[in-house]
Amino acid sequence: MTSTFPDISISTERLVLRPLEEDDVPALAEMMNDEQVAAWTDVPQPFTEDGARAWITEHAPAERTAGRGLHLAVTEFLTQRLVGIIQLTRTNWHVRSTELLYVVAPWARGEGYAAEAVLATAQWLFRDQEFERIELRTAADNTASQRVAQKVGCISEGVLRNACIAHVRAEDGTWTDTRTDYIVWSLLPEDLEGAGEQLAETGGFTSFSDWN
Ligand SMILES: CC(C)(COP(=O)(O)OP(=O)(O)OC[C@H]1O[C@@H](n2cnc3c(N)ncnc32)[C@H](O)[C@@H]1OP(=O)(O)O)[C@@H](O)C(=O)NCCC(=O)NCCS
């Protein structure tokens, strides 16, 4: 039997992480049409609403049911606006390890949302899903992403030389591929001990597995 992640909702002090819904199409498309997303991720550019709909209705459910991962919408608890996404991918159920990626909408950056969402996801993975390792890969020059990894307590493990294709804007405005290194980070349950206490002080997290 294939192991799969449940359809869950995770609440933090300011955020609700939940499955992507078709209503998220416009906000997801808008969030992904961004210079930083174009530079550091493989999200196709321009990212259309059709692309967003296919992601939400086809790609994300297929990833979950195949056991490869989980895509979560990150929303503001107060406004219910979509502020970002968390993606678990390349999940290895035998090792109980998964890779984690994140994007936060340009308007919501610098508020600590990425770190808060990653931390809550990590706590859920370690406590509820009995995972033992989360891996992050950040492009060597992606300072904001590295800062997020550091803030949640990830340990930098090394460099995958030449393993990353990032994108730079050419003079004519088109994007071209550029090769760079990946920094590999990992988070283990024991790395969260300090961070977990901090999060607990701000209310901790709650997960609901009966979503839908
Ligand atoms: C990386 C990303 C998710 C961060 O989201 P965020 O919600 O702003 O993250 P946080 O607020 O939790 O933390 C960002 C940290 O990076 C810092 N930072 C942001 N831009 C920076 C820059 N250019 N140079 C140095 N530090 C920077 C912020 O000051 C903050 O650190 P601080 O809390 O110590 O002040 C967001 O920038 C993004 O979506 N980027 C495009 C997609 C991407 O790169 N995804 C990661 C792929 S691995």
Whether 74 maps to a domain, the answer reads yes
Q: Which of 37, 100, 145 to probe ligand 1 with, by most ligand atoms within 8 A of CB? A: 145
Supply the pLDDT for residue 15. 98
Three-state secondary structure of the chain: CCCCCCCCEEECCCEEEEECCHHHHHHHHHHHCCHHHHHHCCCCCCCCHHHHHHHHHHHHHHHHHCCCCEEEEEEECCCCCEEEEEEEEEEECCCCEEEEEEEECHHHCCCCHHHHHHHHHHHHHHHCCCCCEEEEEEECCCHHHHHHHHHCCCEEEEEEEEEEEEEEECCCCCEEEEEEEEEEEEECHHHHHHHHHHHHHCCCCEEECCCC
CA atoms of 154 and 66, how far apart (whole Å): 27
Q: Which of 37, 42, 85, 109 to mutate to test the pocket of ligand 1 (most atoms within 8 A of CB)?
A: 109
Which residues span the domain enclosing 109? 9-132+194-208
pTM: 0.94
Tally of structural domains, the chain:
1
Q: Quick check: is 179 in a domain?
A: no
Structure tokens given for 99: 């890779």
Atom index in ligand 1 nearest the CA of residue 142 equals: 44
Strand partners, 186: 135, 155
CATH number, domain with residue 77: 3.40.630.30
20 Cα–ligand 1 center, Å: 22
pLDDT score, position 92: 98
For residue 143, being part of any structural domain is answered with no
Residue 174: inside a domain = no
pLDDT in tens, 32-59: 999 999 999 999 999 999 999 999 999 9
The full length of the chain comes to 212
Residue 175, domain member (yes or no): no
Q: From CA 83, how far away is CA 12, in angstroms rounded?
A: 14
| 102 within a domain of the structure (yes/no) | yes
pLDDT tens digits along 158-187 = 999 999 999 999 889 889 999 999 999 999
Low-confidence ranges of the chain (pLDDT < 50): 203, 210, 212
In a domain, 156, yes or no: no
pLDDT at 206: 72
pLDDT confidence of residue 208: 64
Q: How far apart are CA 163 and CA 169, in angstroms?
A: 20
Return the pLDDT at 42: 95
In a domain, 19, yes or no: yes
Between CA 159 and CA 185 the distance in angstroms is 9
